[in-house]
Structure 1
Amino acid sequence: MTQQNAARLFQAVKQDQALQEKLKATADPKSFIKIAQERGYDFTAEELDSEIDKLSDEDLAAIVNPGWGTRRHINPR
């Protein structure tokens, strides 16, 4: 169920510009998850990573990446 929360968050972010900007401003996964939890989306860092892996580079950039290389800001590798 929490895995679905991460997926639902990404759908909500596509429609909510304020939430999108707030998530773009965060620099680490813990802050990202905290913001999501404040909005009622409960999931772990592992579940977030799993959902991120499902996104296209373009979708990921539109949601969490303020112009840096793919996944670098929320999911450094």
Structure 2
Amino acid sequence: MTQQNATQLLEAVKEDQALQARLKATDNPEAFIKIARECGYDFTIEELEAEISQLSDEELAAIVNPGWGTRRHIHPR
């Protein structure tokens, strides 16, 4: 069940800019977990890392920097 909480948090981060800003403001995994728990998500650092490892580069980029979409339409010079 806690692995599902990590999944739900990552989905919520895509939609909630305030939550996204709070989580991006920390690079400390313990602080990240604490913020997630305050929002009702309960999981371990290992479960979060496992969930993140399953994301594609594009999915991870959408969470980390949602203002930048995929750039597949741009051709390198």
Q: Which TM-score tier does this pair reach, normalised by the shorter chain?
A: 0.7 to 0.9
1:27 Cα deviation (Å)?
Answer: 1.1
Q: CA RMSD in A?
A: 1.3
Matches within 5 A, 1:1-77: 1-64=1-64
Normalised TM-score (structure 1): 0.77
Report the CA distance between 1:2 and its aligned residue.
0.3
Q: Give the whole-Å Cα distance in 2 for the aligned partners of 1:63 and 1:26.
A: 14
- Distance (Å, rounded) in 2 between the aligned partners of 1:23 and 1:64: 9
| 1:7-66 deviation line (CA, Å, top 9, x unaligned) | 00001011100001111111111111110000000000110010010112232233246x
Task: Give the count of matched residue pairs.
Answer: 65
TM superposition outliers: structure 1 runs of 4+ over 6 Å = none
C-alpha distance in 2, partners of 1:54/1:21?
22
> Once the two structures are aligned, what percentage of the paired residues are identical?
71
Alpha-carbon distance in structure 1 between the residues aligned to 2:19 and 2:57: 19
Q: Is the 8 A contact 1:24 1:63 kept in 2?
A: no
